[in-house]
Amino acid sequence: MPSLLVLYDGDRVETRKFPGRLRGLAWDHDGSSLTLAGNGGRALKIQDGNDGVRLDTGTTHNLRSVSVDPIDNTAFVVGNAGTIIAINADGSSIKMDPPTSENLRAVRWNADGATALIARNNGTLFKYTEHGLETINGGRANLRGISWRKKTEEALITSNCFAEEFIPSPNLFLFDGRKNSLKPVSEGRSDLIGVDWNPNVGVAIVVGYDVVWHNGFIGRFDASGLSPVEFQGAQVYPTSVRWDPSGRAAAIATCIARLQSGQGRVILWNGETFREIYRNEDFFFSNIAWSPVGFKLAAIASSEARTFDS
């Protein structure tokens, strides 16, 4: 069950294989290192081209998502069975004890490192500050992705479009940090998975796929709501999206729903056209991230990755 790290610097693509399944990744605040996390409690720190220094997470649960505090470089890693681990810059770690044993799918720090949001299955969001964890209710289905809007206390949260027993659910929520509330802002038959606000304008890109027709979905969210972006989406399953620091290019990564249903791709969108920079028939992407400094892109893929389990 190998994993593949794909790196892109604007000119060329470099790939590196790792044993086991890695799911999440995040750059540190100056773009000098990457933290990766995956199954069996495994976490690695890659710096200066090394093979990856193993980090002590103190768990064997599968880890799904990583976000690095932009101020002090503390990496929050979340995963199955309510796992939340803070890994300090010196490599020491602290395991938190949240009031849940649900699988946690995503974590994201805000720009000033004061607040992190953690999305979990069954519609609940956690807000973390120096005062600890706070539960934010209001979702229904599995929450999938998080993106803070720059210089605000707002974040977009993506969700599956059906809860248990095919109960319809909003698939996109707006979190208001002043009110600690989740407000639904879109419904439909697409599972929305990845989301990212443009750092310079009030526009976010949201990605996922139509669960009925299995067509990929890429949408633009702004003050007027969510609208689709036209692209060739048949049997394409976008799972992750990130804008580069300049806000000029959005990178979109794809996965598959089942074997022989698509490819793992990395695509760049400049607001008008799409350009594929990488494709693989055997490895499928769960996460993608731009370095905060320079033009450096990293994406993590696995032969075992599937859209429902990203």
Q: How many CA atoms lie within 13 A of 228 on its CB side?
A: 14
Query: From CA 208, how far away is CA 162, in angstroms rounded?
Result: 13
pLDDT tens sequence across 103-153: 999 999 999 999 999 999 999 899 999 999 999 999 999 999 999 999 999
For residue 204, which amino acid is it?
A: A
Under a CB-based contact definition with an 8 Å cutoff, are residues 42 and 63 in contact? Answer: yes
Contacts of 119 (CB under 8 A, 6+ apart): 104, 105, 106, 107, 125, 143, 144, 145, 146, 157
Give the CA distances from residue 121 to residues 12, 145, 285, in Å, rounded to whole numbers and listed in that order: 37, 11, 20
Query: From CA 171, how far away is CA 182, in angstroms rounded?
Result: 12
Per-residue tokens: 172 = 């996109």
pLDDT at position 206 is 98
Contacts of 221 (CB under 8 A, 6+ apart): 156, 172, 185, 186, 195, 203, 204, 205, 206, 227
pLDDT at position 61 is 97
pLDDT at position 255 is 97
Q: Give the DSSP letter string of 272-285.
A: S-EEEEEEESS-EE
Query: From CA 25, how far away is CA 5, in angstroms rounded?
Result: 10
Query: For residue 118, what is the domain's CATH number?
Result: 2.130.10.10
Structurally, the chain folds into a number of domains equal to 1
Domain limits at 133? Answer: 3-309
| Successive 10-residue mean pLDDT values, the chain, 310 residues | 95 96 96 96 88 91 97 95 94 90 96 96 94 94 97 96 90 96 96 97 96 94 96 92 97 92 94 96 97 96 92
For residue 109, which amino acid is it?
A: W
Query: From CA 188, how far away is CA 219, in angstroms rounded?
Result: 12
pLDDT at position 166 is 83
Query: From CA 223, how far away is CA 203, in angstroms rounded?
Result: 8
pLDDT at position 289 is 98
CA 4 distance to own-chain centroid: 17
pLDDT tens sequence across 190-200: 999 999 999 99
pLDDT at position 50 is 75
pLDDT at position 268 is 98
Q: In terms of DSSP bridges, do strands 172-176 and 75-79 run parallel, antiparallel, or are they unpaired?
A: unpaired
